Amino acid sequence: MNYYSLNKKAPNTTFADAAVRGLAPDKGLYFPESITPLDASFFETIEEKSNAEIAFEAIKQFIVPEIPEDVLKTIIEETLNFNFPVVNINENISTLELFHGPTLAFKDVGARFMARCLGYFNKSNTNEVTVLVATSGDTGGAVANGFLGVKGVNVVILYPSGKVSDIQEKQLTTLRQNIKALEVDGVFDDCQDMVKRAFLDEELTSKMQLTSANSINVARWLPQLFYYMFAYKQLKSKHKDIAFSVPSGNFGNICAGMIAQKLGLPVKHFIASNNANDTVVNYMNTQSYEPKPSVQTISNAMDVGNPSNFIRIQELHNKDFEALKANLSSYSYTDEETREALLELYKDYNYVADPHGAVGYLGAKAHLKSNDVHVVFLETAHPTKFLDVVADVIKENIELPPQIMRVMDKEKEATAIATYDELKMFLLNE
Ligand SMILES: *Cc1c(COP(=O)(O)O)cnc(C)c1O
């Protein structure tokens, strides 16, 4: 499969090249040249297939032959070594729990898949790459963990000193091997600025292949389409139309769901559930896309003022606003509403959600006011990842899962830096 740049000013290229580069040379996002629906029989018999079989059939057209079928099967089996349960909330709402991976984040799947693809492309040690990531806390851990031990791939992860939780810091700084943590004297934006500057620094990029590991990268973005298939497999016997409410930040996850829909998955509607960062909500109301600076919320993995994948969503709907509106609704909620939703889920349904899932639940309820469907909201992080907020709302202790217990006694290893020049020195001396 070839990929083109949405800016249309760069040559079309292979999956391998798109995955190694991340962004096209014209700074556009890569998009698959074609999307061929799967046979109807695939969906008719989906409940008889394993998750790995479903994932392989669903993604193979985007990846093979650059990764041979047998290698792709192994990559998928290694990526998906945990569960994706659908939990019933009430008659019309369920949640798809995406937090059972090694770092309890839904980004585990994309990161593990991308890491193994890059590892394959580097199998003869010709394409050593350095993945550079800035994290505000939650997502860096998934990336770092996903790449742990993958040959030919080094990960350098920048985080703001004193601005991430103890659990998050442990997840970032105790991995070792090919993962290096840089503790930046500054805030998240400083980390992000340093990373951006590195990508534009020709002295650096002429000496090393730098890449990013966020959802602009096709190898991290596309495997997220699996989730929607796994949910359908578990809910098909309900014989009811399904809509998905997706807590969205950069809109990579929901856009992958729309790829699953293009592949033929019966999805009636998508709901983008947002916190106070409401750029897309406004766009759906006004048709005018006005990016703005992000505002801080308690569902901070969605604090994005200019969602990078929204342009892919527009492409999927042929830039036709009416077509998009028929397939996507979007809502925005305050932190206060999010806290109330956390409490409601706990009191009425005995379900402990995290703030991101709670926003998804609110979007599900809004959609049900005028639609007769079953809504699945995606639970994108384990509640203990946002322990302060959740424990404060539900007034109960939450037990730490083993994935977290395991890192808590390990020793932190991080290099302190304060300036871009220090980052550059570090990278050049790697
Ligand atoms: C990254 C993230 C999101 C947002 O996903 P996008 O693909 O950026 O829309 C939502 N919830 C959690 C917990 C996340 O880490």
Ligand 1 proximity of 375 Cβ (cutoff 6 Å): no
Please report, for the domain that includes residue 294, its CATH number: 3.40.50.1100
Residue 131 has pLDDT above 80, yes or no: yes
- Nearest residue (by CA) to ligand 1, atom 14, is 301
Q: What is the pTM of this model?
A: 0.94
Determine, yes or no, domain membership for 382.
Answer: yes
151-169 mean pLDDT: 90
pLDDT at 215: 84
What separation in Å is there between the alpha carbon of 126 and the centre of ligand 1? 33
> Can you tell me the distance from the alpha carbon of 311 to that of 328, in angstroms, rounded to the nearest whole number?
14
Strand 30-32 and strand 86-88: pairing?
A: unpaired
Count of domains forming the chain: 1
Residue 214 has pLDDT above 80, yes or no: yes
Determine, yes or no, domain membership for 118.
Answer: no
| Residue from 9, 107, 236, 410 carrying the catalytic annotation | 107
Residue 317 burial class via C-beta count within 10 angstroms: exposed 0-12, middle 13-18, buried 19 and up: middle
Determine, yes or no, domain membership for 417.
Answer: no
Ligand 1 proximity of 381 Cβ (cutoff 6 Å): yes
The two three-digit tokens of residue 40, written as one number: 């109807």
- Nearest residue (by CA) to ligand 1, atom 15, is 301
Residue of 356, 359, 384, 386 best suited for mutating to test ligand 1, as the one with most atoms within 8 Å of CB: 356
Neighbours of 180 (CB within 10 A): 21
What is the pLDDT confidence band of residue 265, given thresholds at 50, 70 and 90?
A: very high
- Measured in degrees and rounded to the nearest 5, phi and psi for residue 259 equal -65, -40
For residue 224, give the ligand 1 atom closest to its CA.
7
Residue 163 has pLDDT above 90, yes or no: no
Residue 254 has pLDDT above 80, yes or no: yes
Range with the poorest average pLDDT among 124-138, 353-367, 374-388, 391-405: 124-138
> Can you tell me the distance from the alpha carbon of 177 to that of 156, in angstroms, rounded to the nearest whole number?
11
What is the pLDDT confidence band of residue 122, given thresholds at 50, 70 and 90?
A: confident
Burial 157-168 (b: 16+ CB within 10 A, else e): bbbbbeebeebb
pLDDT digits (tens, 9 = 90+) for 279-292: 999 999 999 999 99
pLDDT at 187: 84
Residue 11 has pLDDT above 80, yes or no: yes
* 107 a catalytic residue: yes
Q: What's the CA angle centered on 366, arms 360 and 372, to 5 degrees?
A: 105
Determine, yes or no, domain membership for 34.
Answer: no
155 neighbors 144 (Cβ within 8 angstroms): yes
Determine, yes or no, domain membership for 131.
Answer: no
Determine, yes or no, domain membership for 10.
Answer: no
For residue 356, give the ligand 1 atom closest to its CA.
11
- Nearest residue (by CA) to ligand 1, atom 2, is 301
What separation in Å is there between the alpha carbon of 69 and the centre of ligand 1? 29
Residue 80 has pLDDT above 90, yes or no: yes
183-202 mean pLDDT: 90
The two three-digit tokens of residue 229, written as one number: 């298939």
Determine, yes or no, domain membership for 295.
Answer: yes
Determine, yes or no, domain membership for 29.
Answer: no
pLDDT digits (tens, 9 = 90+) for 389-429: 999 999 988 888 988 888 888 999 999 999 999 999 999 98
Ligand 1 proximity of 249 Cβ (cutoff 6 Å): yes
Q: Which domain does 257 fall in, by range? A: 83-103+221-400
- Nearest residue (by CA) to ligand 1, atom 8, is 250
